[in-house]
Amino acid sequence: MKNTIGDALPYPQRKILADLNFKVGSIFKFYDAVAKKEKRLILIGIRYDKIIVAFLRINTKINTTIFPSEELRNEHLELEFDRELRPFLTHTSYVNCSIFLEQHAKAIYNLLIDKPSIHIGTLCEADLLKIKHKISTSKLLSPSQKKNFGLFYTPLK
């Protein structure tokens, strides 16, 4: 990952950036131990106690080996490439709304202070609402998982 101007800022300014960017809808790019590579991830929820955060993975395509059935593939939401609307994407991609990648909030926040360049963008309100709705209707996420992150019910407007 390339360094950005944010990475060169002194600690107080990096903390201000982290405070601004550590929010639901933010897009991060960092190493995902499960995927064993750098991934784009959406911070989709902060647990009620603020100790754990939930991320969703953004994939370049839907892997039919991992998601062999239509039901599993339908748990993804397509994000069309649009340089103006989604500058954090390089091509049309798919958000996997069937599983949360849960991390300790403090560790992610501290990582964001140490390396502000991991924050690569923010979802527009319309995309965020569609993703939250997709999560709320998911058959693979349990009601308690959804409830923990305030994603149990999200109507489309």
User: Could you tell me what percent of the chain has a pLDDT over 90?
Assistant: 77
Residue 107 lies in a domain: yes
Does 70 fall in a domain?
A: yes
Contacts by 79-87, CB closer than 8 A, 24 or more apart: 79/127, 85/124, 85/127, 86/121, 86/124, 86/127, 87/121
| Position 29 in a domain | yes
Q: Supply the pLDDT for residue 89.
A: 96
* CA triple 128-48-76, angle to 5 deg: 30
Asked if the structure places residue 95 within a domain, the reply is: yes
Residue 81: which CATH number?
Answer: 2.30.30.110
> How many domains would you assign to the chain?
1
pLDDT tier for residue 33 given thresholds of 50, 70 and 90: confident
Q: Could you tell me the pTM of the whole model?
A: 0.90
pLDDT at 156 exceeding the cut of 80: no
Residue 157 lies in a domain: no
The boundaries of the domain holding residue 59 are 5-148
